[in-house]
């Protein structure tokens, strides 16, 4: 079986890592470079750096913060937020990242997925989807796509958009449940499994991690290829190395540093 990945997420605002609940009520969590290094040393398989206010503020990614973070790492780094063109993607690659994550710009211009994939390889293109359950389901669709840091709903439904993103060349889907984000009550396994069944590329589950059993649930019932968390790592609620050991004991294949 393929090993599953544990990913530490850095939500960055103004050069500092922050974390909130359901995309609001942010609190400071530390310096991105320092936290990235600590999480990697603790056993994280990858680090995701998201400049969460770049799109809303209509500015580019904080390149210097990305560069400082990349210098501290020996694991893959994904960067998202404010990437709206091929030139933007090139700039963050040059700053040291391994993959780019695009969300709002991809919804606005889906061909951007293809352009970045053709230039840097589909394995380096992650399409992030911020999903929120609809009050009134639309046929077989239960979740709507949101953009601009979760502030703006779109007309797109999650499953259809995930399929289109894959068809246009995305290498992975970073799927965040806005309903679960920062709550600690567990991943939305129904959402994650629905997207995992809709596409053949890896799906990263995000939003709601609070304890070990939540990771077991999302890897088993949610069919996730990777699970991403922030608060439980930043604030010392869970140790990544211990988490991976307990997941391995539950029969979930994990990668351990030599």
Q: How far apart are CA 243 and CA 212, in angstroms?
A: 6
Q: How far apart are CA 188 and CA 223, in angstroms?
A: 11
Q: How far apart are CA 92 and CA 48, in angstroms?
A: 13
Q: How far apart are CA 48 and CA 58, in angstroms?
A: 21
To which residue do tokens 């290094």 refer? 37
Q: Is 11 a catalytic residue?
A: yes
Largest CA distance in the chain: 49
If we measure between CA atoms, which residue out of 131, 116, 122 comes closest to residue 198?
A: 131
Over its C-alpha atoms, the chain yields an Rg (Å, rounded) of 17
- Catalytic entry in 88, 130, 181, 225: 130
Contacts of 169 (CB under 8 A, 6+ apart): 113, 114, 116, 117, 118, 122, 125
Q: Is 179 a catalytic residue?
A: no
Q: How far apart are CA 229 and CA 55, in angstroms?
A: 22
Which residues are part of the catalytic machinery? Answer: 11, 130
């Amino acid at each position: 079986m393929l090993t599953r990945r544990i990913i530490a997420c850095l939500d960055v605002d103004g050069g500092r890592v922050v974390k909130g609940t359901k995309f609001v009520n942010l609190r400071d969590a530390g310096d991105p470079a320092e936290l990235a290094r600590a999480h990697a040393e603790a056993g994280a398989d990858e680090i995701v750096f998201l400049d969460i206010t770049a799109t809303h503020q209509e500015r580019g990614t904080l390149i210097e913060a990305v560069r400082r973070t990349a210098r501290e790492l020996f694991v893959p780094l994904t960067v998202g937020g404010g990437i709206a063109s091929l030139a933007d993607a090139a700039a963050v690659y040059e700053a040291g990242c391994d993959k780019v994550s695009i969300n709002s710009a991809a919804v606005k211009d889906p061909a951007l997925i293809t352009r970045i994939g053709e230039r840097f390889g589909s394995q380096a293109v992650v399409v992030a989807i911020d999903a929120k359950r609809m009050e009134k389901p639309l046929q077989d669709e239960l979740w709507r796509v949101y953009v601009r840091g979760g502030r703006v709903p779109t007309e797109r439904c999650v499953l259809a958009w995930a399929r289109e993103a894959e068809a246009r060349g995305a290498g992975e889907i970073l799927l965040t449940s806005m309903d679960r984000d920062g709550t600690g009550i567990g991943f939305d396994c129904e959402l994650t499994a629905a997207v995992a069944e809709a596409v053949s590329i890896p799906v990263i589950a995000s939003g709601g991690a609070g304890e070990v059993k939540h990771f077991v649930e999302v890897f088993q019932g949610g069919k996730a290829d990777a699970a991403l968390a922030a608060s439980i790592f930043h604030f010392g609620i869970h140790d990544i190395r211990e988490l991976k050991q307990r997941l391995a004991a539950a029969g979930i294949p994990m990668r351990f540093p030599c």
